[in-house]
Chain A
Amino acid sequence: MTTAGRADQPDQPDQPDQPDQPDQADQPDQCSYTLSVNGQEHELRGAWMGESLLYVLRNRLGLPGAKNACEQGECGSCSVLVDGELVCSCLVLAATAGGREIVTVEGLGAGERFTDVQVAFTETGAVQCGFCTPGLIVTVHDLLERNPRPSELEIREAISGNLCRCTGYGRILEAVETVRDARLAAASRAAPVAAGATRQEGAG
């Protein structure tokens, strides 16, 4: 049984501004647990145990990439990967996510470098107000990991849980298709080399 332990001396580094959440100053249920986010361990202390992962990422860990819009799993703007599964972080109880590997949009690229998906979004004009963009970027990375050759319908189904109210999706589809085609082209350029290497190994 894993029970998120009660901190002996719960510290209060910040009092996040979320009117919906109970006042956390004098509550007995301030506990500690550990989250692994983008490969880094974070000790959460003095946190209310009912907090969503989205709230903890944004307000306690300073990772604002996942956006807070609907808080009911409808909009997808808070999408993250938990143990490699695409989920809405607003629907994950943070205190139950200990021992699981969480990846947010901040953890997708190498440092400050954009990923190919992010580059394609900016170059095709798939970003307008930008609010839905981080969630879509995580979703598109997940899609192309699972299905390197998605059809337009498969792309539409994959992003159906990410609401965008600016673009009308045309340029988002174009961005995804651009990355898909570029990755496939790169893979086919690499393939003959790999095959040759295998043959050489066999000959050796």
Chain B
Amino acid sequence: MNERLPLAIIKYNAGNIQSVMFALERLGVNAVVTDNISQIQQANKVIFPGVGEASSAMQYLRERGLDQVIRELHQPVLGICLGMQLLCSHSEENDTSCLDIVPVQVRKFISESGEGRTKAPLKVPQVGWNNIYSLRTKLFDSVLEDSFIYNVHSYYAESSKYSIASCEYGVEYAAAVRKDNFYGVQFHAEKSAGVGAQILKNFIEL
């Protein structure tokens, strides 16, 4: 029973794991949801999902030593939504130090219309479908520029040289990031219809 898991989904105190499982199931992939350290280390691919709040998620990971485990993974890792934000350096959500794998700051959308701005104030969180552009890397193979993906979030990773997809909501931000073997998508690939399925498939085939 030393066979490597094709795909491990990291189990922790942030939801939406079931939706990710079902999305992978639709692609014919058997994933295992686990917080077992050796199972995670030995999987071919790791998905780090998440809906929830940054500081309590980080605390949970630290208490179980999962923070260090994630930092030291060598296989392709995909953070989704909060999972992506936790891969970054720091989040404005409750002033949280994150995993600091991708050196990018996570900021809150500003809902107030600032001075001199004529645009209507932003609704926060951003809820709904938005278009992504400047797509790079194999993660977006066969995905067209300006494809639509589903978002639910109040915080965003700043644009940087690690951006591999961009999106605009009041500001231009990183819809996806990559550093080495670590990938992250802000949107819910598991709920983004055919486009999301293609992105998950691309990750599986990396």
Q: Do A and B come from one complex?
A: no
A interface residue numbers (CB < 8 A to B): none
